[in-house]
Chains A and B, each alone.
Chain A
């Protein structure tokens, strides 16, 4: 569902551009609104969320899908934790559909999907593993890297049980906005994938913006 935001970039409390291949790990406080902006189009923002006060509670793709009885995320979707609580709500979305089935790229899954020789190409999971190593204060490790959201990715499910990877429906300037329902840690990998035609083999920067309300 397309829903435009009333917020303006001139009164944010925080804004940062994340290059492709980089990660962003940041606490978004309860009541604050996070926008993830696709600056150049068809980029994938692989995203995980955690309860900032107890990282054992984290975004759960399967609980979110099941509780809303729908496989896609868009405006109105509640992002549900493994404890059944709402972490954030998607309150605006100019893209219309986001994936949470396909997971993130990893060097190992790249060997299966593309070629064994591609194992040393940079991947989202490497960015996350570096993030949890560089932020020891959150006391996280590989066990906490779970099944993520792929903002701006289009992965349709067919009635016959197929899973297809379609060209993105995002474009330069499209965004998704989420209001935090509790203090959350956001962990974003701006996907470095060079093997997937979905981003025209050209990963590009995204921007994250935060408003106090």
Chain B
């Protein structure tokens, strides 16, 4: 249930059921705390600059700038314009995916029995693809704008030959990841399963999310100083903000 506490540390808290989608604006200087309520949730997510939606989350730049395949505490999530949408300031999981992509409608229908809205009402099965298409359209965007997404709480790892495996026990009930926004960001997200999830039935896992005010970024900030690249990313944000960017 949504709760609003504008004067408290947690300003807003809400739950999203599994297999659902939403979008919202996150302001610079706030945090988005994502909590896996029952274990095994996957949260697909995309970022856009609300004032110039051509600026969007760029997974390859995020990975190559930090020489990483996984995402965890200390990593920054980059736009295609060399700026940081948000930093991962805390993480109880240790590995989040941004390479596995999105559950397409065709793959969902191949993998799981479809529950229609006519028969099941809001307990129906939707794909991450349809979830993103709806949220993109709310903001004047479409499938041409749908780039590689984040899959919070999911882990896909490669062996020496590059072969991929999906970890079905990566996240437990109560696990969390905390994102501090370094610029205003339009956040699109869904709770549809990771495309490599091999559960027998379409898994529906609830997400809790909380919005808080962030502490100011200190000179010794862990994310900013985790790599020289991130120091330069923060400099790019600083230039953007002094020129009036939010």
> Interface on A for B, CB 8 Å cutoff?
56, 60-63, 65-66, 69-72, 82, 84, 97, 101-104, 106, 108-113, 115-116, 142-144, 146-147, 155-159, 161-165
Q: In the complex the two chains form, is B107's CB within 8 Å of A65's CB?
A: no
Q: In the complex the two chains form, is A143's CB within 8 Å of B61's CB?
A: no
Contacts of B163 in A (CB 8 A): 69-70
Known: A62-B102, A63-B101, A113-B229. 7 other contacts (CB 8 A): A108-B236, A109-B64, A109-B65, A109-B80, A112-B82, A163-B63, A163-B68
Known: A161-B69, A162-B67. A71 touches B162 (CB 8 A): yes
Rounded to whole angstroms, the CA-CA distance of A156 and B54 in the bound complex is 30
> Interface on B for A, CB 8 Å cutoff?
54, 58-61, 63-65, 67-70, 78, 80-83, 95, 99-102, 104, 106-107, 143-148, 157-164, 195-196, 229, 232-233, 235-236
Rounded to whole angstroms, the CA-CA distance of A157 and B63 in the bound complex is 11
Q: In the complex the two chains form, is A161's CB within 8 Å of B164's CB?
A: no
Known: A70-B164, A108-B82. A147 touches B148 (CB 8 A): yes
Contacts of A146 in B (CB 8 A): 147
Known: A62-B100, A84-B107, A109-B61. A161 touches B82 (CB 8 A): no
Known: A61-B148, A62-B101, A65-B164. A164 touches B67 (CB 8 A): yes
Could you list 12 examples of A-B contacts with CB < 8 Å? A65-B99, A69-B164, A71-B99, A101-B63, A101-B69, A108-B81, A112-B65, A112-B236, A113-B64, A146-B147, A163-B69, A165-B64
Contacts of B196 in A (CB 8 A): 66
Contacts of A147 in B (CB 8 A): 59-60, 147-148
CB distance from B147 to the nearest CB of A (A): 6
Known: A62-B101, A115-B232. A163 touches B80 (CB 8 A): no
